[in-house]
Amino acid sequence: MPDSPDLTCIAAARAGGREELDALLAVCWPTAYRIARGIIGENALAEESAQEACAQLARTLPELREPAAFRGWFYRIVVNAARATLRRERRHRDSVPLDEEVERTEGDADATTLERLGIEQALLALPSMQREAIVLHYYADLTSKEIARVVGVPDGTIRYRLFLAKRRLRVLLGDRSDAAPAMTEVNGHA
């Protein structure tokens, strides 16, 4: 997290301090939204997912045994919330007429630049597990070992997913050698 909460804040929030919990949520919200946006690819759904992740954080924080493990624990909550939002949205989209779907996605495209739209479209073209790995690596600055702990798979699997995702992104983005830095710039990691 760019502005990671300190262990004192986490411990105080765990103990039931309302002001500390509010401060913790204020620090976590932008990261939750950025990760959800990268995984989901749509502003409104990402906001819904990030809100759910923050609500779950508030509900389950007392269960966190080790405050030092907060970062990975929170990212797992965010990824799971994004996955749940995607499942709900897929079920919903299966029942929405095509013309309504086109209107909704055209509104999202108006708010983005062409470069960002290209990167986001390329991300959304990746299989979900590769997209999660890329988002956690570039948006949350996690190592492959940290991502493995968050998603619950071996480190080698994450390294392979990152390899495949980067290779696919190069193809989708026209073999631009600056694809990875552009992704981080779009998401506030200049």
Contacts of 129 by beta carbon, 8 Å cutoff, 6+ apart: 151, 161
Q: Is the dihedral of CA 35, 11, 23, 47 positive or negative?
A: positive
**SS3 letters for 121-190?**
HHHHHCCHHHHHHHHHHHCCCCCHHHHHHHHCCCHHHHHHHHHHHHHHHHHHCCCCCCHHHHHHHHCCCC
Q: What is the pLDDT of residue 95?
A: 53
Question: Which of these, 139, 108, 118, 144, lies nearest to 36 by C-alpha position?
Answer: 139
* Spacing of C-alpha 75 from chain mean position: 8
User: CA 134 to CA 126: how far, in whole Å?
Assistant: 10
**Which residues lie below 8 Å from residue 101, measured CB to CB, with a gap of 6+?**
93
pLDDT (tens digit, 0 to 9) for every residue of the chain, 190 residues total?
A: 655 677 888 888 888 878 989 999 999 999 999 999 999 998 999 999 999 999 999 999 998 888 889 999 999 999 999 999 999 988 766 654 544 443 444 444 443 444 555 788 888 899 999 999 999 999 999 999 999 999 999 999 999 999 999 999 988 888 655 545 445 444 444 3
Domains of the chain: 1-111 (1.10.1740.10), 112-190 (1.10.10.10)
